[in-house]
Amino acid sequence: MKLSIAAAIGLLALTLTEAVKVSPLPIPTHIKWAKSGPIKVDNNFRITGTHHEILNKAYARTAKLIKKERWVPQIWEHPAPDFPEYPTFEKRGDYEEASYRHHNKKATLKTVKVSVRNLNADLQLGVDESYTLDITASGQGSIKAKTIWGALNGLQTLNQIITGDGRKGLQVEQPVEIRDSPKFSHRGIMFDTARNFIPIKALKRQIDGMSYTKLNMTKDAFSPREIYTQRDIINLVQYGRERGVRVYPEIDMPGHSSSGWLQVDAKAVTCADSWWDNDGWTHHTAVQPNPGQLDIAYEPTYKLIKNVYREVAKLFKDDFFHVGFDELHRFCYNYSTPSMDWFRANPQATYGDFAQLYLDKALPIFRDRRDRRLVMWEDVVTSADFAANKVPKDIVMQSWNKGLENIKTLTQQGYDVIVSSADFLYLDCGYGGWVSNDPRYNVMEPPVLPKAIQDAFDANPSDYQPTSFNFLGFGGSWCAPYKTWQRIYGYDFTKGLTKKEAKHVIGAESPLWAEQVDEHVLDYKVWPRAAALAENLWSGNRNAKGFKRITELTTRIYDFRERLLVREITAAPLTSKYCLKNPHNCDLHRNQTAWGK
Amino acid sequence: MKLSIAAAIGLLALTLTEAVKVSPLPIPTHIKWAKSGPIKVDNNFRITGTHHEILNKAYARTAKLIKKERWVPQIWEHPAPDFPEYPTFEKRGDYEEASYRHHNKKATLKTVKVSVRNLNADLQLGVDESYTLDITASGQGSIKAKTIWGALNGLQTLNQIITGDGRKGLQVEQPVEIRDSPKFSHRGIMFDTARNFIPIKALKRQIDGMSYTKLNMTKDAFSPREIYTQRDIINLVQYGRERGVRVYPEIDMPGHSSSGWLQVDAKAVTCADSWWDNDGWTHHTAVQPNPGQLDIAYEPTYKLIKNVYREVAKLFKDDFFHVGFDELHRFCYNYSTPSMDWFRANPQATYGDFAQLYLDKALPIFRDRRDRRLVMWEDVVTSADFAANKVPKDIVMQSWNKGLENIKTLTQQGYDVIVSSADFLYLDCGYGGWVSNDPRYNVMEPPVLPKAIQDAFDANPSDYQPTSFNFLGFGGSWCAPYKTWQRIYGYDFTKGLTKKEAKHVIGAESPLWAEQVDEHVLDYKVWPRAAALAENLWSGNRNAKGFKRITELTTRIYDFRERLLVREITAAPLTSKYCLKNPHNCDLHRNQTAWGK
Bridge partners (DSSP) of residue B142 are B113, B134
Phi-psi region of B572 (alpha: psi -120 to 50; beta: other; left: phi over 0): beta
- Report the percentage of chain A scoring pLDDT > 90: 76
Strand B176-180 versus strand B30-33 pairing type: antiparallel
Total tally of structural domains belonging to chain B:
2
Task: State whether B460 and A453 contact (CB < 8 Å).
Answer: yes
Peptide bond into B254 cis (omega under 30): yes
Is A12 touching B (CB cutoff 8 A)?
A: no
- State the DSSP H helix or E strand holding residue B118, giving kind and residue range, or none if neither: strand B104-118
B245 and B221 part of one domain: yes
Q: Which of A547, A551, A542, A543 is nearest to A596 (CA)?
A: A547
Burial of A13 per CB tally in 10 Å (0-12, 13-18, 19+): exposed
Q: How far apart are CA A24 and CA B154, in angstroms?
A: 56
pLDDT value for B258: 84
Asked whether residue A585 is domain-assigned, the answer is: no
Q: How far apart are CA B526 and CA B518, in angstroms?
A: 12
Q: Which residues in chain B land under pLDDT 70? A: 1-19, 83-105, 221-226, 278-280
Peptide bond into A224 cis (omega under 30): no
Residue A430 distance to chain B (closest CA, Å): 6
pLDDT value for A482: 98
B585 contacts on A by Cβ (under 8 Å): 276, 289-290
pLDDT value for A12: 33
pLDDT value for A100: 45
Q: Give me the amino acid identity at A394.
A: D
Q: How far apart are CA B167 and CA B436, in angstroms?
A: 55
Q: How far apart are CA A87 and CA A253, in angstroms?
A: 63
Q: What is the CB neighbour count within 10 angstroms for residue A167?
A: 11
Strand A373-377 versus strand A320-324 pairing type: parallel
Mutation for testing the A interface, residue in B193, B195, B586 having most A CBs under 10 Å: B586
B576 contacts on A by Cβ (under 8 Å): 195-196, 434, 514-515
Residue A271 distance to chain B (closest CA, Å): 9
Torsion of CA B99, B104, B107, B112, to 10 degrees: 0
DSSP string, A110-139: EEEEEEEEES---SSTT----EEEEE-TTS
A173 and A213 part of one domain: no
Q: How far apart are CA B197 and CA B227, in angstroms?
A: 8
Residue A16 pLDDT more than 80?
no
pLDDT value for A223: 57
Bridge partners (DSSP) of residue B133 are B143, B178
Q: Where are the beta strands (DSSP E) in A71-185?
A: 104-118, 131-135, 141-147, 162-164, 170-172, 176-180
Q: Regarding predicted confidence, which is higher, A464 or B13?
A: A464
Active-site entry in B69, B177, B327, B562? B327
B175 and B192 part of one domain: no
Asked whether residue A458 is domain-assigned, the answer is: no
| Contact (Cβ atoms closer than 8 angstroms) between residue B63 and residue B46 | yes
A248 and A160 part of one domain: no
Is B590 touching A (CB cutoff 8 A)?
A: yes
Is A409 touching B (CB cutoff 8 A)?
A: no
Asked whether residue A591 is domain-assigned, the answer is: no
Residue A108 pLDDT more than 70?
yes
A250 and A146 part of one domain: no
H helices present in A242-320, as ranges: 259-264, 300-313
DSSP string, B324-383: E--S--GGGGGG-HHHHHHHHH-TT--HHHHHHHHHHHHHHHH--STT-EEEEETHHHH-
Q: What are the angstrom distances between the C-alpha of A525 and each of A228, A326, A482?
A: 22, 23, 10
Q: Helix (H, G, I), strand (E, B), or coil: what is residue B130?
A: coil
Q: Which of B459, B469, B572 is opposite residue A521, by nearest beta carbon? A: B572
Residue A144 distance to chain B (closest CA, Å): 36
B175 and B57 part of one domain: yes
Asked whether residue B10 is domain-assigned, the answer is: yes
* pTM of the predicted model as reported, rounded to 2 decimal places: 0.92
B450 contacts on A by Cβ (under 8 Å): 456, 460, 462
| Contact (Cβ atoms closer than 8 angstroms) between residue B112 and residue B202 | no
Of A224-228, A478-482, B151-155, B396-400, least confident by mean pLDDT is A224-228
Q: How far apart are CA A134 and CA A588, in angstroms?
A: 38
Peptide bond into B153 cis (omega under 30): no
Burial of A581 per CB tally in 10 Å (0-12, 13-18, 19+): middle
Of A21-25, A34-38, A114-118, give the range with the top mean pLDDT.
A114-118
Bridge partners (DSSP) of residue B144 are B115, B132
Task: State whether B578 and A289 contact (CB < 8 Å).
Answer: yes
A246 and A324 part of one domain: yes
Instruction: Establish, for the pair of chains A and B, how many residue pairs have beta carbons separated by less than 8 Å.
Output: 413
Q: Which of B138, B147, B151 is nearest to B107 (CA)?
A: B138
Asked whether residue A90 is domain-assigned, the answer is: no
B120 and B223 part of one domain: no
What would the pLDDT profile of A347-378 be if each residue is shown by its tens digit?
Answer: 999 999 999 999 999 999 999 999 999 999 99
Q: How far apart are CA B77 and CA B100, in angstroms?
A: 16
Number of H helices, E strands in chain A: 18, 19
Is B568 touching A (CB cutoff 8 A)?
A: no
pLDDT value for B9: 32
B174 and B306 part of one domain: no
| Contact (Cβ atoms closer than 8 angstroms) between residue B482 and residue B162 | no
DSSP secondary-structure letter at A266? G
Q: Regarding predicted confidence, which is higher, A217 or A375?
A: A375
* Among candidate residues A521, A538, A555, the one where a domain is terminated: A538
Question: Which domain, by its residues, includes A62?
Answer: 6-82+101-180
Peptide bond into A81 cis (omega under 30): no
Q: Helix (H, G, I), strand (E, B), or coil: what is residue A205?
A: helix
| Contact (Cβ atoms closer than 8 angstroms) between residue B485 and residue B554 | no
B316 and B260 part of one domain: yes
- State the DSSP H helix or E strand holding residue A250, giving kind and residue range, or none if neither: strand A246-253
Asked whether residue A564 is domain-assigned, the answer is: no
What would the pLDDT profile of B379-388 be if each residue is shown by its tens digit?
Answer: 999 999 999 9
Residue B353 distance to chain A (closest CA, Å): 25
Q: How far apart are CA B366 and CA B370, in angstroms?
A: 11
pLDDT value for B85: 53
Query: Around B158, how many Cα atoms within 13 Å sit in the side-chain half-sphere?
Result: 36
pLDDT value for A225: 54
Q: How far apart are CA B267 and CA B284, in angstroms?
A: 20
The CATH number that applies at residue A207 is: 3.20.20.80
* Among candidate residues B180, B197, B225, the one where a domain is terminated: B180
Residue A115 distance to chain B (closest CA, Å): 40
Is A331 touching B (CB cutoff 8 A)?
A: no
The CATH number that applies at residue B56 is: 3.30.379.10
Task: State whether A83 and B586 contact (CB < 8 Å).
Answer: no
> CB neighbours of A512 closer than 8 A, spacing ≥ 6?
A189, A190, A191, A192, A426, A427, A428, A522, A525, A526
Q: How far apart are CA B178 and CA B551, in angstroms?
A: 22
What would the pLDDT profile of A298-314 be if each residue is shown by its tens digit?
Answer: 999 999 999 999 999 99
Bridge partners (DSSP) of residue B269 are B294
Question: Which chain A residues in 489-528 lie under 8 Å from chain B, judged by CB atoms?
Answer: 490-492, 495, 514-518, 520-521, 524
pLDDT value for A448: 86
- State the DSSP H helix or E strand holding residue B519, giving kind and residue range, or none if neither: none
H helices present in A217-324, as ranges: 230-241, 259-264, 300-313
Asked whether residue A91 is domain-assigned, the answer is: no
Q: Which of B28, B1, B55, B33 is nearest to B135 (CA)?
A: B33
A480 contacts on B by Cβ (under 8 Å): 430, 472-473, 475, 480-481
B261 and B147 part of one domain: no
DSSP string, A494-522: TTT--HHHHHTEEEEEEEE--TT--TTTH
What would the pLDDT profile of A575-588 be if each residue is shown by its tens digit?
Answer: 999 999 888 999 99
Task: State whether A259 and B578 contact (CB < 8 Å).
Answer: yes
Peptide bond into A389 cis (omega under 30): no
Asked whether residue A336 is domain-assigned, the answer is: yes
Is B456 touching A (CB cutoff 8 A)?
A: yes
pLDDT value for B97: 37
If you count them, how many residues does chain B have?
597
B190 and B137 part of one domain: no
* Among candidate residues B164, B180, B196, the one where a domain is terminated: B180
Q: How far apart are CA B37 and CA B19, in angstroms?
A: 9
Task: State whether A439 and B90 contact (CB < 8 Å).
Answer: no
Task: State whether A462 and B441 contact (CB < 8 Å).
Answer: no
Q: How far apart are CA A210 and CA A529, in angstroms?
A: 11
Q: How far apart are CA B588 and CA B597, in angstroms?
A: 18
Q: Which of A184, A158, A26, A165 is nearest to A552 (CA)?
A: A26
| Contact (Cβ atoms closer than 8 angstroms) between residue A437 and residue A483 | no
Q: How far apart are CA A148 and CA A155, in angstroms?
A: 11
